[in-house]
Amino acid sequence: MHPVLFKVGSFTVYTYGFCIAIGALLGFLYMYWQGKKQYGLTFDQSNNLFILLILGGVVGGKLFMLFEDPSLYLSQPKRLFSGSGFVFYGSLLTAIPIMLWYFKKIKVPVLGMLDVMAAVTCIVHGFGRIGCFMAGCCYGLPTDSFLSVVFTNPVCQAEPLHTPLYPTQLVEAIFIFSILALLVMLKNRKQFDGQLFLIYLMVYAVGRGILEMFRGDIDRGFLIENILSNSQFISLIVISAALYFYIRLNRNKKIITR
């Protein structure tokens, strides 16, 4: 759509990277604000955590690309770091153990901070999907629907160009920001710590599983060809695990309040 934001001589600013940067900045500010307000998190603690999450997210997002085409990336490992994007689930599943370890290390309520991080993830991810739309990656299938977009810029990753496609990137961005609004609305109504994070995981995984059916970038990989994509398989695992912990934490809460 508009992959290059602007150029100054040989220096190029890509819209995707710019959107990620904006999302990261806003996510950090929200994390620091809510972390300090609720649990006394210091600026240094917030900053260290965010650096760890960025590093972990980049590594995890790249490594999970191996599932898309193992033979390609194993034979040409440099392609993993050639600006070919990220796998969101790879970043998320890498970030979770980092957060669990760090929150325990600095001795703040782990489950409570995970609730804060659910909103942070939505902020970063939502802006990231807007960046995907601008870059043309994560594009949808061809469609005759009035809800379609046409990519014409030859730099875009969308295929085919000049063809109406489902705007899966924008749909997902709207969906993610809707989850963020839900989390903010439930913030003062939650029944137990960790509830918001688990709700985020389940709701996003369900929506992502459905959205995968409209994706046109089939090179992202399938566990069962054209039936179950890698992301849909991961979504099923995430839903199952989150539901298990939701029931467990909710049950423990009821025992404690008796």
Q: Is the pLDDT of residue 22 over 90?
A: yes
Between 47 and 62, residue with greater pLDDT: 47
Please provide residue 29's backbone torsions phi and psi, each rounded to the nearest 5 degrees: -60, -40
Residue range(s) defining the domain that contains residue 75: 4-257
Please provide residue 152's backbone torsions phi and psi, each rounded to the nearest 5 degrees: -120, -20
pLDDT tier at 257, thresholds 50, 70, 90: very low
What are the tens digits of pLDDT across the range 114-139? 999 999 999 999 999 999 999 999 99
Among 71-80, 180-189, 232-241, name the one with the lowest average pLDDT. 71-80
pLDDT tier at 80, thresholds 50, 70, 90: low
Residue 43: how many other CB atoms lie within 10 Å: 10
Q: Is the pLDDT of residue 110 over 70?
A: yes
Q: Is the pLDDT of residue 67 over 70?
A: no
Q: Where do the H-state alpha helices sit in the chain?
A: 15-39, 43-63, 70-75, 88-105, 110-135, 168-186, 195-211, 230-257
Q: How far is CA 236 from the centre of its chain?
A: 16
Specify the number of domains making up the chain. Answer: 1
What are the tens digits of pLDDT across the range 220-233? 777 887 789 889 99
pLDDT tier at 205, thresholds 50, 70, 90: very high
